Amino acid sequence: MNDDSKVQQLEEEIEAFKQESRDFYTALEKRFKGTGSENDALVHFFSYSVYLSTDDVILLGSFTIKNTGNTVQNVPGICLVFHLPKNFSFTGKFVRSEESVVENNEAVWRMMPEKKGQKEEIWLEPREPLELVPGSSISFESFQLVWEWNDAHDALVYGYTYQKETEESSASLNHIHIQREQTAKKKKGASSHDPA
């Protein structure tokens, strides 16, 4: 295969992925539009990609909250629950409650001081009260999880939103599941289109 046909094939795969994403987003909007419940108006989900280096699995992700309803909604808190190998690292654009705003001024999120979870979970809330107008969205963007790829455990990440005012929580539409067998196959050169 020459370079031009490789480029064309990659462009076709990218366009197919974009169309798949648009179809998924449209299906979400159809499913949740006009349900009548204010809580149902907020749809939240993960998007992510996985990179396998020589030694590590690197997951880059975002957790998006979209207002599909007809009224303005308060942005809820987020809880991410990790079922990962023991020695994983988590980074993202958030501040700890005791950090100065100046130190990390692009972070929209902060750790919830009253919800100091174990290493296996993180609770976040907007640094200042925010509202989502109908059709708008907000994301906890570009978080990164890293662990050794040869660890024998699957990796799972669950997402929830939490409204302080009503004390209601809601699970995300999807979760992240990286199977140990899949990362091993891909590491050995298997197709990147293996089913999840």
Note down the domain range covering 127.
33-187
User: Quick check: is 124 in a domain?
Assistant: yes
Q: What pLDDT was estimated at residue 36?
A: 44
pLDDT at 175 over 70: yes
Quick one: pLDDT band at residue 165, thresholds 50, 70, 90?
Answer: confident
Give the tens place of pLDDT for each residue, 5-23.
877 877 887 787 777 777 7
Q: What span, in angstroms and rounded, lies between the C-alpha atoms of 17 and 70?
A: 29
Once rounded to an integer, what is the mean pLDDT over residues 159-188?
Answer: 78
Q: What pLDDT was estimated at residue 33?
A: 58
User: Quick check: is 8 in a domain?
Assistant: no
User: Quick check: is 89 in a domain?
Assistant: yes
The amino acid that residue 49 corresponds to is: S
pLDDT at 167 over 60: yes
User: Quick check: is 130 in a domain?
Assistant: yes
User: Quick check: is 16 in a domain?
Assistant: no
Phi-psi region of 159 (alpha: psi -120 to 50; beta: other; left: phi over 0): beta
Token pair for residue 137?
Answer: 């969205």
119 against 160, higher pLDDT: 160
Give the tens place of pLDDT for each residue, 52-99.
877 888 899 999 999 988 899 999 999 999 888 777 888 888 887 655
Q: Read off the CATH number of the domain in which 123 is found.
A: 2.60.40.10
User: Quick check: is 166 in a domain?
Assistant: yes
Lowest-confidence range among 108-112, 119-123, 171-175, 192-196?
192-196
What SS3 state is found at 8?
Answer: helix
Q: What span, in angstroms and rounded, lies between the C-alpha atoms of 16 and 132?
A: 30
For residue 192, what are the contacts with CB-CB under 8 A and spacing of at least 6?
Answer: 186
User: Quick check: is 22 in a domain?
Assistant: no
Give the tens place of pLDDT for each residue, 31-55.
555 444 454 588 999 999 998 877 8
User: Quick check: is 112 in a domain?
Assistant: yes
Per-residue CA distances from 72 to 21, 43, 66 (Å): 25, 14, 11
Lowest-confidence range among 71-75, 88-92, 149-153, 159-163?
149-153
Domain count of the fold of the chain: 1
Q: What pLDDT was estimated at residue 95?
A: 85
What per-residue string of b and e applies to 66-103 under the rule 16 or more CB within 10 Å gives b?
A: bbbbeeebebbbbbbbbebbeebebebebbeeeeeeee
Q: What pLDDT was estimated at residue 195?
A: 39
